[in-house]
Structure 1
Amino acid sequence: MKMEADERKKQIRQAAIKVFLDKGFRNTVMNDIMEATGLSRGGLYHHYGSTHEILYDIMMEGNLNRKDTVQKSSYDEGLILTPQLFSRMIIDKILADNDYVKLYVMFLCELKENDDLKKLYVKIKKESIQVFKELFSTLFNELPSDETFEFMINIMNSGLMACEILNARENFVKNKIYLTEMIETYFTNVMKKDDERS
């Protein structure tokens, strides 16, 4: 029974992703999801009470997948993290153009309106900081403060929103080298401070 419920919720999320991308999150109502899934009202509400609940689960799932991907790719490739490599990773994330990015920006735009999503954002941010710390443990004698990583997350989110909302992606792509140098300079300076401390 549990497996069936999990599978049904997954189907609902996949249908909702298509509807959110087609109509926009704010323009989507539960009836749209009901139509997309073919479920009855009771069948849908048995699993999800609102579009915000569905978006919450989509973000949770996406964050777990992203965390695994980042860790796996850096370990698999045996990459040695440097400010240059890290800055390229950050800029590639900012310039990514895929469905998950579009949904993530919809999620960011909803934070002011929904306390549950705000709490989830705080949780995702903490998990992202932890992933950064694990990646950076080989690079620093003493790990930078959480604020250092939070600054990077804020830069990434600002860049993603600029690409999706302000249509800045093309302009950013043209200036990718300068964006990468900005991030690289920041982390090189953070590393210098670390060297001075040790």
Structure 2
Amino acid sequence: MRVVKTKSERKEEILEAAKTVFLRKGFEAATMEDIIAETSLSKGGFYHYYANTTDIMHDLMLQGIAYRIDIISHTIPDGATWDDETLINILVDKFLDESDLMSLYVIYLQASYKNHALKDLFEQLKQENRSMFEKRFGAQSQTEMNLFYSDLFLNLLNTIMLGAEILDARESFRKNRPFFVSMMRLALTYAREDRIVT
């Protein structure tokens, strides 16, 4: 008997297939045909959901944001204060994370260096990140996290994540977590003194 999948199940199948292909081939080398071959959908059925690999990567990045929010929601109880130490630990946990979604984010960062569509997507993802965090944790989370949306912090975090993944340095970073906590504490102090140049 043929199993009929819902729209959301088909979309999830596509995203899982794309994740597999991107992790195996990278973003630039991956084609829509590669991803279609990993699914049970026809070519026409597949294109009903996604027109290109950039659209697929966008939805995978949204999955990554939702994944991070889920982890944080288990760490921070509802109504808890977003103090500096909590925020610092959230950020350090983020770049020490060893998940497929983190690996995909690094692939996205690398590809966006040369791909203007992915580079343009970054601003949209920042806004969607803010919106998803505010929806889950309330307006206070945005007030407290505002400094972390600066170019300096984003570039610093992305650099550490790239290094952890590309240089296979995550275990070394994990063993030296107190160093990164201290570094983020110093960066936050620097930012609070309005010394960040944008």
Contact 1:86 1:184 in 2 (8 A): no
Q: Which has the higher helix share?
A: 1
Structure 2 partner of 1:172:
173
TM-score (norm 2): 0.76
1:17 aligns with 2:19: yes
Task: Please report how far the alpha carbon of residue 113 of structure 1 lies from its aligned counterpart in structure 2 after TM superposition.
Answer: 3.3
Count of paired positions: 185
Q: Which has the higher mean CA deviation after the structures are superposed, 53-62 or 100-109?
A: 53-62
List aligned pairs for 1:171-190, cutoff 5 A: 171-190=172-191
CA contact (8 A) 1:111 1:117 kept: yes
What stretches of structure 2 of length at least 5 have no aligned partner? none
Contact 2:64–2:102, Cα closer than 8 Å, also in 1: no
Q: Percent identity?
A: 32
User: Counterparts of 1:114 and 1:36 in 2: how far apart (Å)?
Assistant: 24
**Relative to 1, partners in 2 of residues 1:128 and 1:39: Cα closer, same or farther, differing over 3 Å?**
closer
- C-alpha distance 185-82 of structure 1, shift in aligned 2 (>3 A): farther
**Letter paired with 2:141:** L
The change in CA–CA distance for 1:170 and 1:57 in structure 2 (over 3 A counts) is same
Q: CA deviation at 1:190?
A: 4.1
Q: Secondary structure at the match of 2:38?
A: helix
When residues 40 and 179 of structure 1 are mapped into structure 2, their CA distance, relative to the original with a 3 A threshold, is same
TM-score (norm 1): 0.76
CA deviation map 1:120-157 (0-9, x unaligned): 211222344674973264x6xxx96x586432222211
2:81 is aligned with 1:80 = yes
Is contact 1:67-1:128 (8 Å) kept? no
Distance 1:169 1:56, change over 3 A: same
Distance 1:5 1:77, change over 3 A: closer
Aligned-pair CA distance for 1:103: 0.6
Residue 24 of structure 1 aligns with an amino acid whose one-letter code is G
Give the Cα separation in 1 of the matches to 2:66 and 2:126.
12
